[in-house]
Amino acid sequence: MKKLRYVFVILLFVSCKSTYKTQDFATEKHPKAPNYGNRNSWAVLPNTYPKGLKKYTTVQISNLKADVFYIYPTLNTDKNDIRWNVPIDDVEQQQKILHKVVKYQASPFANSGKIYVPYYRQAHIRAYRMYKGRKEALALAYADVKKAFAYYLEHYNNGRPIILVGHSQGTTHGIQLLKDFFDDKPLQKQLIAAYLPGIRIQPNEFKTIKPMNSPTQTGGFVSWNTRKRGTYPNFKNWYKGSVTTNPITWDAQKTTTFSQHKGFLYSNDVLYPQSLKIEVTDGLIWSTVPKFPKRFVMSFIKNYHVGDINLFWQDIKENVELRTKTWFAKKN
């Protein structure tokens, strides 16, 4: 049940917390900055996959010709934690990264590229609420992600094509990475695709990087925000007008059938195909309650944000493999 609580229920609790203990960002002693030349500053490198990720890597890693740079979502949601940013050597945070989000969010990309996951001084969840210091906390977190990506480019990439992946806070930082390194810049030629669900992205967010509207398109980005069918966020209208990719068909279809859904990876590590159908609305993906054991839990949850990736695990896996294959075919 612990995994179940993480995968779906945590966001229900987070959404109910209206106040957090906090402190002035300016007076907080900030965690020590990572040194990305040190192996301990990386959660995942191609030669150090955790067990949960290895399980879903069915190809020889050394044979992969592309790279995946993954930025994990907000994991510090404790209302009593007054820290603005989490140290990268925080053991509890590391366990969540290695055995939860890497396993369920980075894994669909494992057969398409070598995976790189930097630890970063992640901002607390209250950075997304109206608290003084939130901008500074997110800026500190992004500074680490930017530094890690620059190190990756210099020491690991060697001109290989890149798949950028983020979710939630990871998408916040992924958007800025695209602007700083790819958008209207030479590196854009190496971008296979950016998968950035969980945060609103406007269609014109970038100068030259566009939303992708077909399953074989490359060089652009996809994004979506998932909720239970017929429900809306409390933050009125924040979602409207944002890019809403269909994460099952990857094209302009507004609805899907159960038979089109390729598979939801549940916390018992079982894949459930044909378990949901969706409707694309203005800025939101509306999903039916997925068919899986103890599905009654989901009937009480409106926000499927935590499941943005693993609800469509097999759909994403097959799509990123297709886009990667298409990218290399264009280059040959």
Owning domain of residue 75: 22-243+313-331
Give bridge partners of residue 228 from the DSSP assignment.
287
> Is 249 a member of any domain?
no
> Is 288 a member of any domain?
no
Class of residue 97 by CB neighbours under 10 A (exposed 0-12, middle 13-18, buried 19+): buried
Q: Taking the CB of residue 279, how many other CB atoms lie within 10 A of it?
A: 15
Structure tokens at 325: 């294959």
pLDDT at 130: 67
> Is 62 a member of any domain?
yes
Per-residue confidence in pLDDT tens, the chain, 332 aa: 334 333 433 333 333 345 777 676 766 678 999 999 999 999 999 999 999 999 999 999 999 999 999 999 999 888 888 888 999 999 999 999 999 999 999 999 999 999 999 999 999 888 887 677 789 999 999 999 999 999 999 999 999 999 999 999 999 999 999 999 999 999 999 999 999 999 999 999 999 999 999 999 999 999 999 999 999 998 778 899 999 999 999 999 999 999 999 999 998 999 999 999 999 999 999 999 999 887 777 778 899 999 999 999 999 999 999 999 999 999 87
User: What is the count of structural domains for the chain?
Assistant: 1
The rounded distance, in Å, linking the Cα atoms of 229 and 293 is 19
Give all strands of the β-sheet with 278-280 in edge-to-edge order.
226-228, 285-287, 278-280
> Is 217 a member of any domain?
yes
pLDDT at 7: 40
pLDDT at 12: 34
- The β-bridge relationship of strands 114-118 and 42-44 is antiparallel
The rounded distance, in Å, linking the Cα atoms of 107 and 115 is 9
Structure tokens at 304: 């499927």
Contact status, residue 228 vs residue 287, Cβ threshold 8 Å: yes
pLDDT at 17: 43
Model pTM? 0.92
Structure tokens at 61: 């890693």
Label each residue of the chain as H, E or C. CHHHHHHHHHHHHHHHCCCCCCCCHHHCCCCCCCCCCCHHHEEECCCCCCHHHHCCCCCCHHHCCCEEEEECCCCCCCCCCCCCECCCCCHHHHHHHHHHHHHHHHHHHCCCCEEEEECCCCECHHHHCCCCCHHHHHHHHHHHHHHHHHHHHHHHHCCCCEEEEECCHHHHHHHHHHHHHHCCCHHHHHEEEEECCCCCCCCCCCCCCCECCCCCCCCCEECCCEEECCCCCCCCCCCCCCCCCCCCCCCCCCECCHHHCCCEECCCCCEECCCCCEEECCCCEEECCCCCCCHHHHHHCCECHHHCCHHHHHHHHHHHHHHHHHHHHHHC
pLDDT at 61: 96
Contact status, residue 167 vs residue 73, Cβ threshold 8 Å: yes
The rounded distance, in Å, linking the Cα atoms of 281 and 254 is 7
Contact status, residue 271 vs residue 265, Cβ threshold 8 Å: yes
pLDDT at 30: 85
CA separation, residue 27 to residues 30, 124, 133 (Å): 9, 16, 10
> Is 77 a member of any domain?
yes
The label of the residue with tokens 């950035």 reads 196
Q: What residues have CB less than 8 Å from 303, skipping those under 6 apart? A: 11, 12, 15, 227, 228, 231, 233
> Is 248 a member of any domain?
no
Longest dimension (CA), the chain: 56
> Is 131 a member of any domain?
yes
| HSE of 146, CA atoms in CB hemisphere, 13 A | 16
Query: Residue 85: which CATH number?
Result: 3.40.50
> Is 82 a member of any domain?
yes
Give bridge partners of residue 226 from the DSSP assignment.
285
pLDDT at 1: 35
